[in-house]
Chains A and B, each alone.
Chain A
Amino acid sequence: MGFNATLIGEMIAFAIMITLTVKFVWPPLVSAIEERQRKIAEGLEAADRARTELAAANTRADDEMKRARAEAASIIERATQQAAQIVDKARTDALLEAAKQKAVAQADIENMAHRARAELRGQVATLAVAGAAKILGREVNAETHKALLEELVAGI
């Protein structure tokens, strides 16, 4: 078969090759690959995390928007109610005031009419006495006919 010392030489060469590969070739390459795998895994995880965070932020923003919108709507509602109340109150106030004014005016008028009537009544008595005196040609004693005159005045 042709075996000779070459066999031993090749065994030594092989042993040296293995040693060098184990020491200087395999570790740096494997560590580089593993490091990269770790980096990629971390990157993917970070991307995943960012995606879920973004989704959470979106829902939060949506919630916030909804709440703000609801609040705005309630504020407008309240404002509308308040405005209506103010208008109502102003109207009732105005009506009350008007009624009061009217009552005061009416009372005044009535007072004045009363006074005028009273005055007129007083004067009617005098006029009636004067008229009667003229008609009878003599003086009517007011004192004597006082009861008659008062009856006359009350009849007006």
Chain B
Amino acid sequence: MSAEAGGESFTAYIQHHLTYWNAPLTHAGGMASLHVDTLVMSVLLGGLVLFWFWWFARRATSGVPGKGQALVELALEFVDGQVKDAWHGSRTFLGPLALTIFFWVLFMNLMDVLPVDLIPAAAEAGGATHFRPVPTADVNMTFGLSLTVLLLTIFFGLKAKGFRYFRDVVSAPFTANNIFMQVLLAPFNILMFVIEMITQPVSLALRLFGNIFAGDLLFMLVAGLMAHWLSLWYPLGVLGYAVWSIFELLIILIQAFIFMYLSITYIAMAQEHH
């Protein structure tokens, strides 16, 4: 789908690209509907990441590794090193969690640097009228990740501290020595905890969503400049697309890393004793 000349069709082009393949689960639709494109792309890419790692993990040798295994081990040791910096306990869960987050998010982000019309056009040929190929430009995706991380944060906090977890909610970060001050400070501590539980997933999800969505939108705008072969905007569009692709690659990598690192940090923080 390419844009026609004129402002109106340009807007239509952008709007078309910003529309999800929405499948209502009930007649009413609304909240009870699914973004088929986001689900399909994320599950496909997640499967790809899993298959890639599983393929080399299955035949992993402690002898001389092949090139494929060496690459996988390099990726694993990079992630493991980051987790080791943030958390000094056992990494049997946090390690694989970080690996999953980093590579899944990275692969989903990478859909951003594919030509904006490539996957939608293929989907259109397959019968889908609308298709958004970048799952991380969908709040459902990013919040799905960040809320799961929040659940894990609470779970690991409880697991590590037991009843002390609740005591810390009431008695930290503002601490006092006498009981009167402790009771006085308790509401503020609880408020701080609630704020933390809200800001953590929201900032995590919106940071990723905002960066990738903005990048995606910019690609659409630049692609819109290339609507006509003979237009003066055409070379500018080509140049812009090339420059932005390079820049976006950097953003994609950094955002995947930040998402992984903050997730690990939040979970590690919840397990620390005050």
Contact = CB atoms under 8 A, between A and B. Distances in A.
A1 B137 CA distance: 12
Q: Is the interface of A mostly helix, strand, loop or mixed?
A: helix
B214 interface: no
Contacts of A6: 34-35, 38-39, 138, 140-141, 144
Interface in B78-111: 80, 92-93, 95-97, 99-100, 104
B144 A11 contact: yes
Contacts of A8: 144
B96 A25 contact: yes
Nearest to A15: B148
Contacts of A18: 96-97, 100, 148
B131 interface: no
A109 to B, nearest CB: 105
B154 to A, nearest CB: 14
Given A9-B144, A11-B148, A22 B92 contact: yes
A10 B42 contact: yes
A29 B148 contact: no
B57 A24 contact: yes
A82 B126 CA distance: 113
A17 B100 contact: yes
B219 to A, nearest CB: 20
Contacts of B61: 32
A148 interface: no
B140 A29 contact: no
A30 B96 CA distance: 10
A151 B58 CA distance: 145
A35 B65 CA distance: 12
Contact of A3 (B25, B49, B96, B139): B139
A34 to B, nearest CB: 8
Contact residue range for chain A? Answer: 20 to 34
Contact of A30 (B31, B56, B69, B76): B76
Contacts of A25: 50, 53-54, 57, 96, 99
Contacts of B96: 18, 21-22, 25-26
B20 interface: yes
A24 B53 CA distance: 9
B70 to A, nearest CB: 11
B100 A21 contact: yes
B9 interface: no
Nearest to B99: A21
The 9 closest A-B pairs by CB, nearest first: A10-B144, A35-B62, A6-B140, A32-B60, A26-B96, A21-B96, A7-B140, A6-B35, A28-B57
Given A14-B104, A20-B54, 6 more contacts: A4-B32, A11-B147, A14-B100, A14-B144, A17-B46, A29-B72
Interface of B: 20, 22, 25, 30-35, 38-39, 42-43, 46, 49-50, 53-54, 56-58, 60-63, 65, 69, 72-73, 76-77, 80, 92-93, 95-97, 99-100, 104, 135, 138-141, 143-145, 147-148
